[in-house]
Structures are given as C-alpha cells and as structure tokens.
C-alpha cells in the first residue's frame, strides 16, 4: 500500500511539472545582437583576468518574450535539453545562468557572461511567465567565440554538430 501511494505521489509530481511546462509556449530565441569582449578584471583599467587570458566575455541580447517575467540561459547544455521538446533531461550537463547574469541592454533582455571558452558555445533560453510557470527551453543557438567584435549565430549540420561534440569541453 505504501509503495502504491509513493508511486501515485511521484506520478502526480511528474504530471504537475509536465503540465506547468506544457502550458507555456516554447520560446523562439531571437538574438538581436551578440558580441565578444576580452575577459577583463571587473573595475580594472584594462587588466585581463590572470590565468584566463584565453577566455572571453560574451554578451547576448535577445527580443523580449511576451509575458516573460524572468529568463534563464543554459550554457553548453548539449545533451541536457531534449531538442525536440525543450525539456531538461540531464541538469548535470552545462550550467544554468540566471539572476545576476540576466540584465537589460538597451531595453532588451541580455546576458553578460564572463569566462566563455573560445570556440563554439551553445545557448538555450527559457522564461517564467507572469503566473510563475516556466517555459520549455528554446532550441539552441551556436556562436563561435573568437576575437572581440560581433558574432553571428551559426547553424551546424547534424554531422558538424556531432563532430564538434566529440571535441567539446564543458
């Protein structure tokens, strides 16, 4: 009897989580600007972070989602998010950036992320609506982080993406 009660309770929790994400539309992650800067010590006069000279600061600015109250960005979450549904399947992969990382840049939501590795960086976005429900994660966006300047989202074929994943360091 206790086992049946536990299974029923867990089933209700899974259904509750599934329903809260199912009631919120999967967002379109429309990037309006993407930039790379050197990884400087905050408040310094141009000093790079010692030992992290090979890293960069990434700034992504996206178009606001109607009804969004909060945003989260999942960085390098390849395999963590089911790309067909937007559901997080393995939260141990990548890192979720929220709160202090999410800002407003020119009136649009943005992320200012220090210590981004060189090479392809993958980003997913999700939002919380005004009733407190979280959306599924968006489809990912790839950016090839290199020298300071503007970046463009790069679509990779499945073959390119799989080959890159064999060499990806998180």
Tens-digit pLDDT profile for residues 9-47: 434 334 344 444 558 999 999 999 999 998 887 777 778
Nearest Cα to Cα of residue 88 among 73, 66, 104, 110: 73
pLDDT reported for residue 120? 94
pLDDT reported for residue 42? 77
pLDDT reported for residue 22? 55
Please state the pTM of the whole predicted model. Answer: 0.78
Tens-digit pLDDT profile for residues 69-121: 999 999 999 999 999 999 999 999 999 999 999 999 999 999 999 999 999 99
């Amino acid at each position: 009897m206790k086992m049946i009660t536990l299974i029923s309770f867990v089933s209700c929790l899974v259904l509750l989580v599934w329903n809260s994400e199912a009631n919120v539309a999967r967002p379109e992650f429309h990037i309006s600007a993407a930039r790379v800067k050197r990884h400087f010590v905050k408040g310094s006069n141009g000093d790079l972070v010692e030992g992290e000279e090979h890293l960069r600061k990434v700034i992504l600015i996206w178009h606001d989602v109607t009804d969004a109250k909060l945003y989260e960005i999942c960085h390098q979450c390849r395999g963590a998010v089911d790309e067909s549904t937007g559901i997080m399947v393995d939260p141990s992969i990548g890192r979720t950036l929220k709160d202090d990382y999410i800002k407003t840049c020119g009136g649009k939501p943005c992320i200012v992320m220090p210590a981004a590795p060189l090479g392809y960086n993958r980003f997913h976005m999700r939002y919380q609506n005004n009733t407190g429900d979280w959306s599924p994660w968006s489809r990912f966006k790839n950016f090839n982080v290199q020298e300071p300047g503007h970046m463009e989202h790069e679509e990779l074929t499945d073959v390119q993406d799989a080959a890159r994943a064999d060499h990806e360091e998180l």
